[in-house]
Amino acid sequence: MNQPVVVITGASSGIGEALAFAYGRTGAAIAFCGRKADALQFTANALTEAGITNLPVVADVSIAADMQRLMDETVARFGRIDILINNAGISMRSMFVDADPEVLRKLMDINYMGTVYATRYALPHILKTKGSVVGISSIAGYRGLPVRTGYSASKFAMNGFLEALRTELLHSGVHVLTACPGFTASNIRFAAIDGHGQVAGETVRDEASMMTADECATHILRAVKNRRRELILTSQGKLTVFLNKWLPGLADTLVYNTLAKEKNSPLKR
């Protein structure tokens, strides 16, 4: 089978789901996972109705054996893996002083170790196809964000892992992309947990003013095609990364003031 095969973690909604449809429309077969069987099947049915070949697998990225099973089932079904998109992740909003350290561990297990596990078991197959490993990171992986210490730490870890992996694979023909969408309209903020691990269930930002998940997927697809090493989206995201590199003190103030304006922000204004 010469049909390209794309594996996407956390593709039941948001950017992951948008990527499944975007790649499916190019003719790729899509293998994807999620923890909730009903949401996963809903997306699988929609992909099938759109004429997109797909394989849904109920799996938790924070469990190594689940990621090994995802890759094994993908190769058993399609015979290859061309692209891995590490998209699964959760967010967290809490002042650090109020946060249970175990909640930060949970974020690391999903956002960082999930990327490690999926990449570890996909990489032997991607080496054969000289394909791509993609991490859906965040501006929080370049610039620590207040009230999001756990999330920022997990994304910094992801960015460091991908940078090291990219260098390690420099002469292998494998492409590694770190993609940072900036604030994108998706369900990640609705599913964000608080300092005690409880789902907040609401967003603190104006979702209508953000880049859509479909727009984000289009940018990522193009970046993979062009084998870019890094993708930073939105003007706000690009400005934040630039200021943090060259004017870090100013970045501290601007980031604080911006996030202090969020709904129910615990930051003093």
Q: Average pLDDT by consecutive 10-residue portion of the chain (269 residues)?
A: 92 96 98 97 98 98 98 98 97 95 97 98 98 97 96 98 98 98 65 81 58 95 98 94 96 96 90
- Contact (CB, 8 A) for 121 and 223: no
Kindly write down the DSSP assignment for every residue of 101-135, as one continuous string: HHHHHHHIIIIIHHHHHHHHHHHHHHHHHT-EEEE
Residue 261 has a pLDDT of 93
**Separation CA 26–CA 160 (nearest Å):** 31
Q: Which residues contact 14 (CB under 8 A, 6 or more apart)?
A: 184, 186, 187, 188, 213
* CA torsion through residues 53, 57, 63, 66, sign: negative
Alpha-carbon Rg for the chain, nearest whole angstrom, is 18
Residue 196 has a pLDDT of 81
What pTM did the predictor assign?
0.93
Structural domain contains residue 41: yes
**Separation CA 89–CA 96 (nearest Å):** 19
**Separation CA 154–CA 113 (nearest Å):** 9
Structural domain contains residue 205: yes
**Separation CA 19–CA 24 (nearest Å):** 8
Between CA 56 and CA 152, with CA 88 as vertex, the angle to 5 degrees is 180
- Contact (CB, 8 A) for 125 and 222: no
Residue 6 has a pLDDT of 98
Structural domain contains residue 119: yes
Residue 185 has a pLDDT of 57
Identity at 35, one-letter amino acid code: R
Backbone φ and ψ of 139, nearest 5°:
-60, -30
Q: Which residue among the candidates 23, 112, 121, 151 is catalytic per the annotation?
A: 151
> Structural domain of residue 110, as residue ranges?
5-236
- Contact (CB, 8 A) for 36 and 12: yes
Residue 187 has a pLDDT of 58
Count of Cβ atoms closer than 10 Å to residue 178 Cβ: 26
Residue 209 has a pLDDT of 64
Q: How many domains does the chain have?
A: 1
What distance lies between CA 239 and its chain's CA centroid? 21
Residue 1 has a pLDDT of 59
Identity at 260, one-letter amino acid code: A
**Separation CA 166–CA 228 (nearest Å):** 11
Structural domain contains residue 174: yes
Structural domain contains residue 254: no
Which residue from 174, 190, 187, 192 is spatially nearest to 134, judged by alpha carbons? 174
Residue 208 has a pLDDT of 56
What's 163's domain CATH number? 3.40.50.720
256 is catalytic: no
Locate 248 and state its tokens: 């870090």
Structural domain contains residue 180: yes
Structural domain contains residue 161: yes
Structural domain contains residue 246: no
